[in-house]
Amino acid sequence: MIEFLKQPWPWYIAGPLIGLTVPALLILGNKSFGISSSLRHICASCFPANIPFFKYDWKKEVWNLFFVFGIFLGGVVAIGFLSNPNPIEINPKLASELAGYGITHYDHLVPTDVMSWASLFTLRGFMLMVVGGFLVGFGTRYAGGCTSGHAIMGLSNLQWPSLIATISFMIGGFITANLILPYILSL
């Protein structure tokens, strides 16, 4: 059984399990799925101030904090007990393309050539981690939610703004992956 859990799950198992989260949350408590709102709940609970954005009854949304903590705990369990000790396998064509950008270490899930404390102090690392992180946070706030909230919950509820947001996420991802990221990786 443990060997089965250590393997990547195919889309036809993982996808429906993620998709069933939506009706489960709606049936069990009329709750919406989304992760980005948890940061607002944490800020509202830890830093009570006269900031209008944080003035609401965050205790009604405490379930979301337990949900996010469960995701974190699941990650800890997965790394501690279910991690695969073998090196990360990537396509040889991708490996040769990444080698052209100086990315050659695949010992971790994310190459340390890209995401590490040492690379943070390079222009490429700063652009990817700091500027990229800011843009993700800004985009999440501007769109009124994250990709999981819009693409999983919003689309299943047939919400027009979620369709627009999901299409925008996809277009932005294609443009970034094909036009912007190669330029940043070459820095």
Q: What is the pLDDT of residues 24-61, one digit of tens each?
A: 888 888 888 778 888 888 888 887 778 888 888 888 88
pLDDT at 82 over 80: yes
Question: What is the model's pTM?
Answer: 0.77
* Residues constituting the chain: 187
User: What pLDDT does 44 receive?
Assistant: 85
Pick 5 or 96 by higher pLDDT.
96
Per residue in 163-186, is it b (16+ CB within 10 Å) or e — as a string? Answer: eebbeebeeeeeeeeeeebeebbe
Q: What is the pLDDT of residues 108-127, one digit of tens each?
A: 878 888 889 999 999 999 99
Amino acid of residue 98: L
Q: What is the pLDDT of residues 131-170, one digit of tens each?
A: 999 999 898 888 888 888 888 888 888 999 999 999 999 9
